[in-house]
């Protein structure tokens, strides 16, 4: 179909399956759901280039092709082989992707947690027969200990939850990767609904190609080195709109781990090749420390040539 300008895109928000990228059509006008491995494609229905897929027009005629993946390592999950660029669901709760020998998964069920509140005094997560994801029924139950302030003169109202909420926030978890971009998480109810929710931020303890500085005489670690030049963060194929000179954690010469000890969180804006902008919270390191309590590697992308993902997907 020919391109028409000015662009006329559907007013309804784009609804794509989990794990499917939003990409521009051939006219550079509208976002469409990217075609996946083995699906039919065309100039107006492009393949998901974020997953290394391309449209091969040599196998099907009349302006259509089929999405194929560039050469890459296959993935082995519990004895089953998946092709590079192939999406699959090992369970109804996960949508996974094989990307050059590594497996990455996104949850299909909400991972929220509920605190007691006036409209749901005793929340509990239960499994519903015939449904994959657990749900939160709110049975009527006798009064019990809640997370709201005890004030006989003023009872918490539905429209006044935040004022009566006892804010509870956990510490940020360790970064999911020892080098490169990872994820850190915490749980908090610091929101207007006083509802306990999972909050995430991007984190980078150190770049994977960060040069290791030599420790000074008499010292056992390089704690918070800074890069000599400013850099731009990269996340999911997108780049931060401004450059930074963040601190990174160095190394310890006595076998201990060097990890962040004091951090702050700031908002970072990213720009994608298609022209989209989005914001993500990101960790910025202030102080690192050396210790023996080394975190385990829990990267979402599990390289199959290092270990098998046994039990992680259940």
Q: In this predicted structure, which of 5-9, 17-21, 115-119 has the lowest mean pLDDT?
A: 115-119
Contact of 299 with 177, CB cutoff 8 Å: yes
* Residues 251-295: tens digit of each pLDDT: 777 777 888 888 999 999 998 887 778 899 999 998 888 877 665
**Predicted pLDDT of residue 161:** 57
Please provide residue 308's backbone torsions phi and psi, each rounded to the nearest 5 degrees: -95, 150
Residue 84 has pLDDT above 70, yes or no: yes
Nearest to 101 by CA among 85, 88, 90: 85
pLDDT band at residue 10 using 50, 70 and 90 as cut-offs: confident
Percent of the chain at pLDDT above 90? 9
Measure the CA–CA gap between 124 and 136, rounded to whole angstroms. 6
Give the span between the Cα atoms of 204 and 195, in whole angstroms: 28
Q: Is 218 left (phi over 0), alpha (psi -120 to 50) or beta?
A: left
Please write the tens of the pLDDT for every residue from 175-208.
888 888 888 888 888 888 777 788 889 999 988 8
Give the dihedral of Cα atoms 226, 257, 202, 209; nearest 10 deg.
50
Q: List, for residues 117-169, the tens digit of each pLDDT value.
A: 666 767 777 888 888 888 777 755 444 444 545 454 454 444 455 567 778 88
Write out the DSSP string of 205-243. SS-TTPPPPPPPTT--B------SS-B--EETTEEESS-
Neighbours of 91 (CB within 10 A): 13
Phi-psi category of residue 99: left, alpha or beta, with phi > 0 → left and psi -120 to 50 → alpha:
beta
What class is the 181-291 domain? Answer: mainly beta
Question: Token digits for 99?
Answer: 């990307």
Which regions of 116-227 does DSSP assign to beta strands (E)? 182-188, 197-203
**Rounded distance between C-alpha atoms, residue 312 and residue 314, angstroms:** 6
Q: For the chain, what are the domain ranges?
A: 75-107, 181-291
């Amino acid at each position: 179909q020919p391109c028409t300008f000015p662009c006329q895109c559907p007013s309804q928000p784009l609804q794509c399956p989990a794990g499917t990228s939003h990409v521009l059509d051939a006219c550079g006008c509208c976002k469409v759901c990217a075609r996946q491995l083995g699906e039919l494609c065309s100039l107006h229905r492009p393949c998901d280039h974020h997953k290394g897929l391309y449209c091969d027009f040599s196998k099907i005629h009349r302006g259509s092709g089929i999405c194929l993946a560039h050469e890459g390592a296959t993935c082995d999950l519990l004895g089953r082989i998946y092709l590079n660029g192939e999406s699959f669901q090992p369970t109804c709760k996960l949508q996974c992707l094989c990307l050059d020998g590594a497996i990455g998964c996104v949850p299909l069920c909400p991972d929220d947690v509920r605190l007691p509140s006036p409209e749901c005094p005793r929340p509990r997560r239960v499994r519903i027969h015939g449904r994959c994801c657990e749900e939160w029924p709110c049975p009527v139950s006798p009064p019990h200990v809640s997370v709201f302030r005890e004030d006989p003169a003023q009872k918490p109202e539905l429209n006044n939850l935040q004022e009566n909420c006892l804010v509870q926030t956990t510490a940020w978890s360790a970064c999911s990767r020892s080098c490169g971009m990872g994820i850190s998480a915490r749980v908090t109810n610091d929101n207007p609904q006083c509802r306990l929710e999972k909050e995430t931020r991007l984190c980078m303890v150190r770049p994977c190609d960060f040069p290791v500085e030599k420790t000074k005489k008499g010292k056992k670690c390089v704690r918070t080195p800074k890069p000599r030049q400013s850099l731009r963060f990269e996340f999911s194929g997108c780049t931060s709109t401004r450059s930074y000179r963040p601190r990174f954690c160095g190394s310890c010469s006595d076998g201990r781990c060097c990890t962040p000890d004091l951090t702050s969180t700031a908002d970072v804006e990213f720009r994608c090749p298609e022209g989209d902008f989005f914001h993500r919270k990101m960790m910025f390191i202030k102080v690192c420390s050396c210790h023996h309590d080394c975190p385990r590697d829990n990267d979402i992308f599990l390289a199959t040539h290092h270990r098998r993902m046994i039990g992680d997907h259940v």
